[in-house]
Structure 1
């Protein structure tokens, strides 16, 4: 961060650091009574009279952050008037801005607590190096070496690796319809699924070179407990885990549904239909954009002033006969829902046949074959009416002429 300032600023500016000079230190000793404390790092950013300082605690591999240690560092930061404590580990919290470790809230009155996963750090480095660019060639080389190191399997910077120890128990309880909201396995799996959605956003954003975030409602962003309650209800009542991914410049959010009873995962997106033309013409407008989509993609046409599902058919059938989505030509098609399903992996850890990889692969496929080709309909601009040319009037025999009154000589 101190050498590649563009990278350091991208990581720390959202935490409150100014765009200034970076100073970074490792294992700085602090005396606290009868013992010394050695935080993993210390960062100081200065610009003019403004200074932002933070302690850093790092965990690698499967090591998790400990509340007792973090609370000691928070006390230390408050004593020395530091602004924040930044933690970095492989833990991915279920929601951005939520710390994966619960600490005493009283210790956060004067010191901010921030967390970044190694997946986030790697994604930020890749986007800065490959998409935003680094002005200095030597700094660009250093950042690429950091990326090379973080991507090495022995670096300790791991991707989202498993669904936790309760995954198999919960999955079996869903299939037998014996799962209850009070089961101890529910909170852990719900949190890990939201963490998986966040990891999928980081992973796809790294490939596309843009920031992708989970699609959450305003209430869910304001109160994470609402999201947890809704997901718990969906899991216990319908056996489904649902989430959304918000990708910039696309027609809408991609919704992901894992149906544990049917062992199937589905990705779908909605798009508004054109406001003009016949109903079959509107269907053809969509089909032309789905030339790369597989034939078993499901298309549903939703009509105006109608509740419940609309007419639905596979894309292979709609390509041959667009009228299958037109139940009543008098009812206007207002939107389409495009969905693609795949078998759900069951294994708890990453690898072939795992739940995590089946979700990630479906998102990649659905984006590549469907989402990136969709464009919203826009009405053509109004055209000027061409002025009609008026015909020249014919000469009348009574019109005046310079030859009037002239007498021909004989």
Structure 2
């Protein structure tokens, strides 16, 4: 593997790097980069999030302990790695900056690497840390786009890399036994304490003060650290929950974002801040493959509660509200959590009705009531959990919510099926003839009259038709100029 010209020094990434314990992030970075080379499917999965296609003819070359030729001798900042992709004559390069443990990414350092990348004709910078981002294109450090100078910026959390490796190992995509072994060893290392990989396990330092301010009905300033840092922490927890659910289900679970929020992290941040300030709520929508609907999680900071819910449209092939309700009840297990609530949504201005699953099973009238003849539109199946004092505790809040959401999906979500309209059936009361006889007779009266006319009338009509044809072809008629071949044909006949 040839070292690029713009590197003063650099080593090929190793699966078993020989580095001192104090260089934990360099060791972990080397293992990941070497894994991307050794297991092409792994490299392909990760690099796809940077919008880079790694084909069968693409080579992945990775280096660590790099020093760029154009780097200032005075600076102590050195990137932790380099990825070089080669597809024919096309080359794509990315610098890697990694942090392990509790270390966080530094804005000034990233901006320095942006300038180095521009000078060395490098296309992108990929940062790796225990900080979380909803998407690899969303960065935990606020770097204005105008300051990137055309250099692309991406972020992977260590937990994200672990999750991608786990999903790949359990999929049918990885067939080579040697690749499976190598990837399983990488996963084993990432799960160990020595790797420096940690999950998001506590909210921000201002979290307790935020809960206290809301409980005391104090006004919240949208621009304060109290609000912005709490929303930023919630964003990290959202991502951690999606990765946790991905590993539990063996399928990729993602944070469901609108197109506006996907394209603009700033818009997403402002929207969530407004939600917190005005409604005292934090929200999360999880998109789970093949689930009946997204799972909506609302953390109500004023009421100190967490609400998980899924919405199902009522079946349209059932007429009465009670029949539609029974369709839903048959899907829910008998031993479901006692805190499960069902909300029925009615048309127009009729307010929704709500009752616990336990009460509804005993008497469905507590939900339907006087709406027995109304058009029940949809159901919200909800789990409501009182967080009490644990809401204000930075670590307890995380621990509890990461138990509530998987438990809700296990007890409710995985059992629900969205209604699908049944296929049409053959109608027994309709004639097999697609066109009624009277309609056919009207549209084809000439043919019908011919078929029904007496034999002698039909014969007479045929004779007259032959005579008129002969007259038309007669050579004695000077008004028509008959072609020679027609005359010959007539005489022959």
CA drift at 1:388: 9.6
- 2:309 corresponds to: 268
Within a 5 Å distance, the mapping from 1:9-408 to structure 2 comes to: 9-19=44-54, 20-31=58-69, 32-35=71-74, 38-93=78-133, 96-103=136-143, 105-182=145-222, 183-277=224-318, 278-291=320-333, 292-306=335-349, 309-326=351-368, 327-344=370-387, 345-346=390-391, 348-350=393-395, 354-386=396-428
- TM-score, normalised by the number of residues in structure 2: 0.74
Aligned-pair Cα RMSD in Å: 2.1
User: In the TM superposition, what is the alpha-carbon distance from 1:73 to its structure 2 partner?
Assistant: 1.4
CA change 1:18–1:214 in 2 (3 A) is closer
Alpha carbons 1:71, 1:104 under 8 Å: kept = no
Tell me the secondary structure at the aligned position of residue 256 of structure 1: strand
Deviation of residue 105 (structure 1)? 3.5
Q: Give unmatched runs, 5+ long, in structure 2.
A: 1-35, 432-493
Give TM-score scaled by structure 1 length.
0.88
User: Which whole-Å deviations, capped at 9, do the CAs of 1:298-319 have from their partners, x for residues lacking one?
Assistant: 0011112235x41111101111
Deviating more after overlay: 101-110 vs 85-94:
101-110
Q: Computing the radius of gyration over CA atoms, which structure comes out larger, 1 or 2?
A: 2
1:407 matched to which residue of 2?
A: none
Q: Tell me the alpha carbon deviations over residues 157-179 of structure 1, each in whole angstroms, 9 at most, x when there is no partner.
A: 11012101111111111111114
For 2:170, what is the secondary structure of its paired residue? helix
CA distance in 1, matches of 2:268, 2:158: 24
Q: Match for residue 408 of structure 1?
A: none
8 Å contact kept, 1:18–1:50: no
Is the 2:342–2:379 Cα contact (8 Å) retained in structure 1? yes
| SS of aligned partner of 2:197 | coil
Seen in structure 2, the aligned counterparts of structure 1 residues 348 and 150 have a Cα distance that, compared at 3 Å, is farther
- Tell me, yes or no, if the aligned pair for 1:18 and 1:46 is still in contact at 8 Å: no
Contact 2:97/2:128 (<8 A) preserved: yes
In the alignment, the residues of structure 2 paired with residue 343 and residue 28 of structure 1 have an alpha-carbon distance, to the nearest angstrom, of: 52
SS at match of 1:172: helix
| Ranges of 4+ aligned residues in structure 1 off by more than 6 Å | none
CA contact (8 A) 1:18 1:52 kept: no
Q: Which residue of 2 aligns with 1:392?
A: none
Q: Unaligned regions of 5+ residues in structure 1, if any?
A: 390-410
Which stretch shifts more, 16-25 or 196-205? Answer: 16-25
Residue 397 of structure 1 corresponds to none
The alignment of Structure 1 onto Structure 2 pairs a total of residues equal to 385
SS at match of 1:29: strand
1:95 is displaced (CA, Å) by 5.5
